[in-house]
Amino acid sequence: MKKNLKKLVALGLVATTGTTLLAGCGGSDKGGSKDGKVELVMSVWDSDQEPVMKQMAEAYSKENPNVTVKTQLTTWNEYWTKLEASATGGSAPDIITMNVLHVEEYADAGILMDLTDAEKESDLKVHDNFPAPLVDGYTVEGKLYGIPKDFDTNAVFYNKEIFDQAGVAYPTDGWTFEDFRKTCEDLQAAGLPDGVYPTAINRNSGQTTYDAAVFANGGYFLNEDNTETGWDKKETIEGIQPWLDLVLDGLSPTLQQMTDTDPDSMFQGGQLAMYFSGNYMIPSYNKTLEGKYGIVKRPSFNGVDKDIINGLAFSVSANTKHPEEAKDFALWLGSKEAQEIQGKSGTVISARNDCQELFLDTHKDLNLQVFLDNVPNTELLPHCKVTAKLSQVEKTYLEQAWQGEITLEEACKSIKPEADAILDEMNAK
């Protein structure tokens, strides 16, 4: 494991301030007490989800009195840095909340435990009880490294008050990207207040916006065997361009404005009439906008309904001091009992097929069905072992396009050779 962790250090993925960040991390020796009690630590980055994760942990401990589970909340901005530092120091949380973008590099670095045999010996049956893209997303080279926790798809959230003040009709399901663009123009023509925009299309919001359009248009970012990118393809560029045009035409804030204030905060603050986002943001939006916004299906692109599915999983630290208890807890977290607790909380959509609809009953005033209807038409968020490196290359050139310094075609064709070289290096190892 230490050899693989050195790869992360070489890639610049592990924090250099490990001593500070390791303070308070899980995986301590507390669990091995003489009375047979075991304490597990479960990491989480979303404060909205921590209460229900505590509830799940308490339910497990009630059935397994020898095991207690402590949640460890870390902000998103610090989560991965702290996790990598704790893994290097041998004190990673026993249960790690994992996402698709990191699972391959973490598995490759030896940070995550292979759960394949444990799952086979259990009655969980992930291939029967969870959406295939989620199981595939946490399967690396035929080995399972995460028990699906939840999933998200995307929709358009709209501010009813802004639409009412502008005298523009609310959007409806079944619309197209052209309809969406026209709605943005109608809102702008109605004269929105200073600092209020029809929508916001950030450079790094591909998961909710242009990624799906690229797939709908026949383009791609990574080929099936992760040997080549498709950034230079006409279909890819044409799938992104209409979204960038919203920024260049003033229907969206500028990149600098969205850097100063992220679009999620803009929507919550009443500065956006429409915003593409995932179901996971509902608890946050409700804090300031409950009853003031609606949800509508994302528009089709080029006549095709397409969306991106993403989801979290429960992984187990390869270095846990309590492997049997940690594996058992992770598997239980995928059970119907655990997933029902999560689903009824209304924070996220539970990953289990037989628990997904519980989410619909938690916010009856919102059109939540669109998130489930999207699932058959989804593509998994593109990812591989070197996602972090690829993202840096994309950021370098796409930001220039978002600022109008170069064309999108120039940006995409600049990404292509650098990204392919990174893939070549990855595949040569």
Tell me the backbone φ, ψ of residue 103, rounded to 5 degrees. -60, -40
Q: Which sign, positive or negative, has the C-alpha torsion 402, 407, 227, 6?
A: negative
- Each residue's pLDDT tens digit, 184-199: 999 999 999 999 999 9
Please tell me the predicted confidence (pLDDT) of residue 10: 40
Please tell me the predicted confidence (pLDDT) of residue 381: 87
Q: For domain 154-309+383-428, give the fold.
A: D-Maltodextrin-Binding Protein; domain 2 (3.40.190)
Specify the pairing of strand 274-278 against strand 307-309.
unpaired
Please tell me the predicted confidence (pLDDT) of residue 21: 29
Please tell me the predicted confidence (pLDDT) of residue 279: 95
DSSP single-letter state for residue 323 = H
Please tell me the predicted confidence (pLDDT) of residue 6: 44
Please tell me the predicted confidence (pLDDT) of residue 30: 41
Stated as kind and residue range, the H or E segment containing 42 is: strand 38-44
**Angstrom distance (rounded) from CA 91 to CA 239:** 44
**Angstrom distance (rounded) from CA 199 to CA 253:** 8
Q: Are 145 and 113 spatial neighbours (Cβ–Cβ below 8 Å)?
A: yes
Q: What is the pLDDT along the chain (429 residues), one digit of tens a residue?
A: 444 444 454 444 443 333 222 233 334 444 455 567 999 999 999 999 999 999 999 999 999 999 999 999 999 999 999 998 998 888 899 999 999 989 999 999 999 999 999 999 999 999 999 999 999 999 999 999 999 999 999 999 999 999 999 999 999 999 999 999 999 999 999 999 999 999 999 998 899 999 999 999 999 999 999 999 999 999 999 999 999 999 999 999 999 999 999 999 999 999 999 999 999 999 999 999 999 999 999 999 999 999 999 999 999 999 999 999 999 999 999 999 999 999 999 999 999 999 999 999 999 899 999 999 999 999 998 899 999 899 999 999 999 999 999 999 999 999 999 999 999 999 997
Structural tokens at position 265: 């905060």
Alpha helices (runs of H) in 223-307, residue ranges in sequence order: 234-248, 255-260, 263-268, 282-289
* Structural domain spans, the chain: 2-152+310-351, 154-309+383-428
Structural tokens at position 408: 């999108």
CATH of 2-152+310-351, one of 3.40.190.10, 1.10.357.10, 3.30.470.20, 3.30.1370.60: 3.40.190.10
Please tell me the predicted confidence (pLDDT) of residue 196: 98
Domains 2-152+310-351 and 154-309+383-428 fall in the same CATH topology: yes
pTM of the shown model: 0.88
**Angstrom distance (rounded) from CA 289 to CA 243:** 26
Q: Are 278 and 154 spatial neighbours (Cβ–Cβ below 8 Å)?
A: yes
**Angstrom distance (rounded) from CA 318 to CA 268:** 39
**Angstrom distance (rounded) from CA 352 to CA 99:** 16
Position 207, amino acid: Q
CA neighbor of 46 nearest in space, from 255, 241, 281, 270:
281
